[in-house]
């Protein structure tokens, strides 16, 4: 082959390689869509929709367009935009609520503009659906997704359809008292059989709950239920198979509540309520007591720590806290705290925990029944992990357990509950598993639906599922579980669940519409071991 021919072949091959490489780059290029804050300067009473509208547009348009979703606070003039840009506004008019979108294609200055009207607040979701369809068609040239077609609501069933986490197993389902318990048939015959035994009539709450817990907060040997929103605490009791409201406590203004817990840390026989919350992205937590006669007593207000009572096997319940960070919602380090005189909190030693763990991500437990303390955590991918006392990683679950909506403000994971529900001397874990609703590319915002509670037992190398409940169709907001007693070897427990009432999940969470459903179930754990 002469030199000129060789040169031609080399040039051809180089051109081919460059062409293939260029094609590969374009093929793997991720479409980026940036959403800016919704303009509510003319929204009047609907200005509270500022964050909600942007988040809902992002969630639904990302399902249409795919790619990577980003949120930015403002437009930098003179910037060369290589991504799609979406701006929105809400305007209150005499005719109703006008929703508008102004969208730009990459590197273009001329916008595409879209509008939709809602005659009243209950029609906002439909108006958003119209916007999503129009923007998806004109901006991204795609057909309207089936996900935004709103199906007629079905009649609510007393028991939702169950979900099977391992289709290769033979599952046994026992239903009763409004709850289905599903188990591997072999486990139910050889280890422990789990049954629902009672139900307190579900209470429909006229508000969307943020968090919930239960405990004996007035010392009468009966559990109360504490449900929190950002503005109020609601205290309920169980009586005559019903859930009754006892009292409502107004909270200080401007709070974003993310967790409520109870514990008697001052050993006066009455459980305190530990309310962990933020104000303007800074911790502003509170500790209070409540009694049906004397009412509420504020012990500590404006505590500059996130607060949570934690149980340490062999020691008992102690108060743990974490502060906010300079560049984030939390600073590294979780510390032992002591509530002192004068409303001040004394800081003690730092807990030995994995560096990435935040205050509401972990529990201490004795999974081996050997008096050694392990740490179970939920990581950023929502996987369940276990560390030994030396912080050596022992286990990571193969898939994640969906939790609580991840928003811009500080968000606490739904609690992990430690309980020896099968009465074998080894701690077990109860965990909520909600199904991810929002597209996975929205890694800084997560929404869920279809939740259930799972009971997991440690086998020395990992967790095995012992039981799970039926699906609750609108996700689980929070839950609690107690082993109340043991009769003739049978463990008796009580499961508390709060969920959004039936309806559109996004509409409830972000528009503040609708209510919640609070349910309480009795459970029996019947050992089968010889």
Residues 285, 386 within the same domain: yes
Among 109, 140, 171, the domain boundary falls at 140
Higher per-residue confidence, 408 vs 11: 408
- Across the chain, mean pLDDT equals 82
Rounded Cα distance between 262 and 317, Å, is 10
Residues 207, 102 within the same domain: no
Residue 12 domain-assigned? no
Distance of CA 52 to the CA centre of its chain: 17
Length of the chain measured in residues = 530
pLDDT in tens, 165-199: 444 456 678 777 889 999 988 888 888 999 999 88
pLDDT of residue 363: 98
Residue 21 domain-assigned? no
pLDDT in tens, 326-373: 656 788 999 999 987 777 889 999 999 999 899 999 999 999 999 999
Rounded Cα distance between 261 and 306, Å, is 12
Residue 223 domain-assigned? yes
Residue 204 domain-assigned? yes
Q: Give the burial string for 103-138 (b: 16+ CB within 10 Å, else e).
A: bbeeeeeeeeebebebeeeeebbebbbbbbbbbbee
Residues 341, 488 within the same domain: yes
Give the confidence band of 23 by pLDDT, cuts at 50, 70, 90.
very low
Give the confidence band of 486 by pLDDT, cuts at 50, 70, 90.
confident
Q: How many other C-beta atoms lie within 10 A of the C-beta of residue 6?
A: 10
pLDDT of residue 489: 85
Residues 118, 214 within the same domain: no
Q: CA neighbours within 13 Å on the CB side: how many for 438?
A: 25
Among 140, 170, 204, the domain boundary falls at 140
Residues 201, 135 within the same domain: no
Residues 200, 120 within the same domain: no
Residue 483 domain-assigned? yes
Cβ contacts of 347 within 8 Å, gap of 6 or more: 321, 335, 336, 337
Residues 83, 224 within the same domain: no
Give the confidence band of 402 by pLDDT, cuts at 50, 70, 90.
low
The boundaries of the domain holding residue 97 are: 33-140
Do 515 and 476 contact (CB within 8 A), yes or no? no
How many separate domains does the chain show? 2
CATH number at residue 379: 2.120.10
Q: Give the burial string for 309-329 (b: 16+ CB within 10 Å, else e).
A: bbebeeeeebbbbbbbeeeeb
Residues 397, 463 within the same domain: yes
Residues 135, 195 within the same domain: no
Residue 321 domain-assigned? yes
Out of 19-28, 307-316, 512-521, pick the least confident: 19-28
Instruction: Show the DSSP H helices in 356-408 as ranges.
Output: none
pLDDT of residue 162: 34
Q: What percent of the chain has pLDDT over 90?
A: 48
Residues 408, 319 within the same domain: yes
Q: What percent of the chain has pLDDT over 70?
A: 80
pLDDT in tens, 111-128: 999 999 998 877 888 888
Residues 113, 193 within the same domain: no
Among 106, 140, 174, the domain boundary falls at 140
pLDDT in tens, 273-330: 999 999 988 999 999 999 999 999 999 999 999 999 999 999 999 999 999 876 567 8
Give the confidence band of 57 by pLDDT, cuts at 50, 70, 90.
confident
Residue 177 domain-assigned? no
Do 241 and 199 contact (CB within 8 A), yes or no? yes
| Beta pairing partners, 83 | none
Residues 121, 66 within the same domain: yes
Residue 4 domain-assigned? no
Give the confidence band of 56 by pLDDT, cuts at 50, 70, 90.
confident
CATH number at residue 60: 3.30.160.100
pLDDT of residue 73: 82
Q: How many other C-beta atoms lie within 10 A of the C-beta of residue 390?
A: 7
């Amino acid at each position: 082959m002469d030199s000129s021919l060789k040169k031609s072949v080399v040039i051809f091959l180089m051109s081919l390689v460059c062409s293939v490489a260029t094609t590969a780059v374009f093929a793997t290029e991720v479409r980026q869509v940036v959403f800016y804050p919704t303009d509510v300067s003319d929204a009047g009473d609907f200005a509270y929709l500022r964050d909600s509208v942007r988040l809902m547009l992002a969630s639904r348009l990302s399902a249409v367009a795919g790619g990577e979703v980003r949120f930015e606070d403002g437009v930098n003039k003179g910037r060369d935009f290589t991504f799609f840009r979406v701006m929105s506004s809400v305007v209150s008019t005499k005719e109703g609520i006008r929703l508008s979108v102004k969208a730009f294609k990459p590197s273009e200055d001329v916008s595409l503009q879209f509008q939709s009207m809602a005659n009243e607040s209950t029609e906002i979701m439909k108006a958003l659906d119209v916007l999503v369809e129009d923007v998806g068609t004109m901006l991204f040239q795609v057909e309207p997704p089936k996900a935004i077609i709103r199906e007629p609501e079905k009649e609510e069933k007393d028991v939702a359809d169950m979900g099977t986490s391992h289709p290769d197993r033979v599952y046994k389902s026992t239903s009763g008292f409004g709850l289905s318990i599903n188990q591997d048939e072999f486990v139910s015959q050889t280890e422990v059989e789990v049954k629902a035994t009672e139900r307190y009539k579900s209470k429909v709450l006229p508000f969307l709950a943020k968090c919930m817990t239960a405990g004996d907060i007035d010392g009468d040997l009966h559990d109360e239920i504490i449900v929190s929103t950002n503005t109020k605490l609601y205290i309920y009791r169980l009586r005559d198979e019903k859930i009754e409201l006892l009292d409502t406590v107004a909270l200080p203004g401007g709070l974003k509540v993310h967790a409520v817990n109870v514990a008697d840390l001052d050993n006066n026989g009455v459980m305190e309520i530990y309310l962990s919350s933020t104000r303007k992205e800074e911790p502003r937590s509170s500790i209070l007591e409540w009694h049906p006669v004397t009412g509420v007593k504020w012990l500590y207000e404006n505590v500059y720590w996130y607060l949570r009572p934690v149980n340490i096997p062999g020691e008992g319940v102690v108060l743990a806290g974490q502060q906010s960070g300079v560049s984030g919602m939390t600073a590294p380090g979780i510390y032992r705290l002591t509530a002192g005189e004068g409303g001040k909190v004394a800081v003690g030693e730092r807990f030995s925990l994995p560096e990435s763990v935040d205050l509401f991500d972990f529990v201490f437990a004795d999974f081996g029944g050997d008096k050694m303390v392990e740490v179970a955590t939920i990581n950023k991918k929502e996987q369940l992990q276990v560390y030994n006392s030396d912080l050596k990683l022992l286990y990571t679950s193969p898939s994640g357990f969906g939790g609580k909506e991840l928003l811009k403000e500080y968000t606490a994971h739904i609690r992990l509950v430690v309980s020896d529900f099968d009465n074998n001397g080894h701690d077990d874990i109860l965990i909520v598993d909600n199904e991810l609703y929002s597209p996975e590319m929205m890694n800084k915002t997560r929404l869920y639906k279809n939740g259930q509670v799972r009971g997991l037992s440690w086998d020395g190398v990992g967790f095995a599922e012992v039981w799970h409940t039926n699906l609750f169709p609108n996700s689980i907001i929070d839950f609690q579980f107690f082993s109340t007693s043991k009769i003739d070897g049978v463990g008796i427990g009580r499961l508390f669940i709060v969920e959004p009432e039936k309806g559109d999940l996004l509409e409830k969470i972000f528009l503040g519409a609708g209510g919640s459903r609070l349910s309480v179930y009795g459970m029996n754990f019947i050992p089968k071991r010889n």
